[in-house]
Structure 1
Amino acid sequence: MALKDFVSRFLGVRDLIAENKQLKAQLHNVGAELAVARSQLYILTQGNTPVSSLQTGSASREADAQLSRYQRRDELVLLPGILELLPQDDRFLVVDGGAREVDRDLRWRPFPPSRMKFVGFEPDQAEAARLNSTPGPGGIEWQFVPAGLWGSSGTIKFEHNKAGGGSSFLPQNRSVTDRWKFENPHQISLAAEIFFPIGEEDMTVVSLADWSGQTGTTSIDFLKLNVQGAEHEILDGAGPLLDTVLGVLIEVAFVESYKDRPFFADTDRLLRQRGFTFFDLLAHHYIGRSASPIAAQHLKIMQPGVGQLTSSWGQLIEGHALYLRDPISDDNAAQLPLPRILKLAALAEAFGQVEYAFELLDWLKDRPDVKDTPIAQTLAGLIASATSKYKAMLRDDMRGAG
């Protein structure tokens, strides 16, 4: 065989191998997108027609209903057993900075309203009054403080933005944001046309430390912060109250969209120093470029998907970072009271950290103060029962995927 022919055949085989790898990667992405689509369809249809039964017809009604309710976030698997171990009057206190759509957060739907309490902070006094006059979903007790959260209490300038979600106590950095193009697979908008300051107003602010002193609040179970750059001020102004928090969902930035805004690295360092462990980055926010004649998310050839070797959605500018306590590795947190560990496990399951929830309960049942007690036996039973239910849902999901 001539050298020229050999090289030609070799290059042809190499190209085929590369194309095969690319096809496999694309199929993997399609499978992942289909899984997401099935979950979204459950939510949109409220589970009236289970997807798995449409696909195979072989899954039992009970398994379909269980999977449907779980994916709709109507119920969790570990949570009911955890609640039975908690005192009846023990409620989950969620403090929300940036709480306008708290009633739309599906993560709290599985919790019985009688076991929850929300406190939101809203600097727009009229909006706070409206929310306070609206009953909490399902009868959940909630209240909205007519003030913004900050590092200290008083009055400071608040910059209103044409885009409601862009208003902030920090000035917008338009040298950065005017270069952006907001895009999704269906439409685009230039940031310079919809995202800019339109006025200032003096707003009342309060620190978490002052609020806790005024209300007698001694601990918080979960803290959510989506406050456009004010996150560090709020954390620094929480004082010892932050040490009682079990979990934090906090907006983090990778660019300086507001002047002097802290970056993710700064937030991660601060929270780790206060005893939290990073678990995940949710709600990724990507932007395109206003000077670009094309929108990357409109290109079908880009195949956006988690785990790819290339970037397809643009620049990642923000996300919501999930932090939880980890008493298993942190000696300072290891002796959290039993109810606090149980609450931590419930929060982990609510945010999709299912394996961590199981790990916590398994560790707790063997902790010296719990081992060889009736509670340890109850925990062992809960772990076994929940394991069976999760495995049943997994089998049903695999049949549906087939």
Structure 2
Amino acid sequence: MTQTAHTDADLRDILAPQRLTEVVDVGANPIDGDPPYLAMLQAGLCRVTGFEPQLPALHELTQAQGPLERYLPWALGDGGMHTLHVCVAPGMTSLLAPDAQSLALFEALQPLAEVRERIAVQTRRLDDIAEIAHLDFLKIDVQGSELAVFRAGRARLAQAVMVQTEVSFVTLYKDQPTQGEIDQELRAHGFVPHCFAAVKQWPIAPCVVDGDPRRPLRQLLEADLVYMRDIRRPEAMDDEQLRHLALVAHHCHGSFDLALRCLLLLEERRAVEAGAQQRYLQLLAARGA
């Protein structure tokens, strides 16, 4: 067993959660590389329920899935009928229509956003998904429909302790909510920003740097922004929520300070054994964190 795997198992032992951490991945298309919960999944610490309406991506996911993963072919949203705009680049496929005026600002994105097919789809509300019994960590990237998912998932979001969502500073789709609207919605659900998991910048046309039409200068386009349930108000979380917040913070984002704070609160509640904080600090020291 590697030192990291040993540390991960010991953290679980310190926290003693009553169940596996439940991850919901809305828009699970694997084109952006490894998901943030991969280490938890490989260590057998979480169960993943993913949603992906694009059939090639869904096939790829189901072919590689393990015993703690399941993927469903549904588009999540407000529960109504919508049009799925299938673009040249699968990562730009959206329930919203591309905005030609915005795309004119970023010329290299224009051919990727060309719509190849339009498919009528019945969206499903997050709160209505019977397959989800618990939701601890929500990862969502649905090209502009994030706000609709949040508004149709208020009961599920009340369970969650962390949300990783794509936000847009310059919108690429018609009627797409901005980062500010997403922020207001998640704050209304009791979340506050925690960290950036990724930030995407893009060059403004017609500027090309060193012959590379995708090399950016300063313009912000999108980001993966991580929200945590407001740790300033721990009374709003039960012991199990604090345990899963600590696990997700540690494994998915390397947020050892947040995990330690959760352990402090759990120790004060006598929900973990005395000395839990010190044990965790020793584990971090052992792995050089």
- TM-score class normalised by the smaller sequence: 0.7 to 0.9
> Is the alpha carbon distance of 1:110 and 1:141 closer, same or farther for their aligned partners in structure 2, counting shifts above 3 Å?
closer
If each structure's helix is expressed as a fraction of its own residues, which one has the higher value? Answer: 1
Counterpart-to-counterpart distance in 2, 1:341 and 1:387: 17
**Identity percentage over the alignment?**
22
Of the three residues 184, 187, 196, the one matched with 1:269 is: 184
In structure 2, list runs of 5 or more residues that go unmatched: none
Alignment match, 1:24: none
SS at match of 2:110: helix
Counterpart-to-counterpart distance in 1, 2:27 and 2:263: 32
Alignment match, 2:280: 386
Of the three residues 56, 71, 91, the one matched with 1:165 is: 91
Alignment match, 2:115: 197
Of the three residues 237, 260, 274, the one matched with 1:336 is: 237
Corresponding pairs, count: 286
Q: CA deviation at 1:273?
A: 0.9
Q: CA deviation at 1:95?
A: 0.7
Highest relative contact order (Cα 8 Å, sep 6+), 1 or 2? 2
Counterpart-to-counterpart distance in 1, 2:212 and 2:179: 25
Q: CA deviation at 1:287?
A: 0.6
Alignment match, 1:226: 141
TM-score by length of 1: 0.64
Alignment match, 1:282: 197
Deviations 1:184-232 (A, max 9, x none): xxxxxx2233332223111232111111xx33x3430111110000000
SS at match of 1:360: helix
Q: CA deviation at 1:131?
A: 3.4
C-alpha contact (below 8 Å) 2:14/2:273 kept by paired residues:
no
Kindly provide the amino acid, as one letter, of the partner of residue 69 in structure 2. W
Deviations 1:161-186 (A, max 9, x none): 111100100111121112215xxxxx
C-alpha contact (below 8 Å) 1:174/1:196 kept by paired residues:
no
> Is the alpha carbon distance of 1:111 and 1:130 closer, same or farther for their aligned partners in structure 2, counting shifts above 3 Å?
closer
Equivalent runs, 1:109-188 vs 2, <5 Å: 109-111=39-41, 114-125=44-55, 127-128=57-58, 131-132=61-62, 134-136=63-65, 139-152=66-79, 154-181=80-107
Of the three residues 170, 180, 200, the one matched with 1:255 is: 170
Alignment match, 2:34: 104
Counterpart-to-counterpart distance in 1, 2:140 and 2:244: 20
Q: CA deviation at 1:384?
A: 1.7
C-alpha contact (below 8 Å) 2:17/2:243 kept by paired residues:
no
In structure 1, list runs of 5 or more residues that go unmatched: 1-61, 70-74, 182-189, 299-303, 305-311, 398-402
Q: CA deviation at 1:314?
A: 2.9
Structure number with bigger Rg: 1
Alignment match, 1:317: 221
C-alpha contact (below 8 Å) 2:242/2:266 kept by paired residues:
yes
TM-score by length of 2: 0.87
Kindly provide the amino acid, as one letter, of the partner of residue 262 in structure 2. L
Alignment match, 1:345: 246
Of the three residues 85, 88, 94, the one matched with 2:23 is: 94
Q: CA deviation at 1:105?
A: 2.3
Counterpart-to-counterpart distance in 2, 1:341 and 1:237: 24
Aligned-residue CA RMSD (Å): 2.9
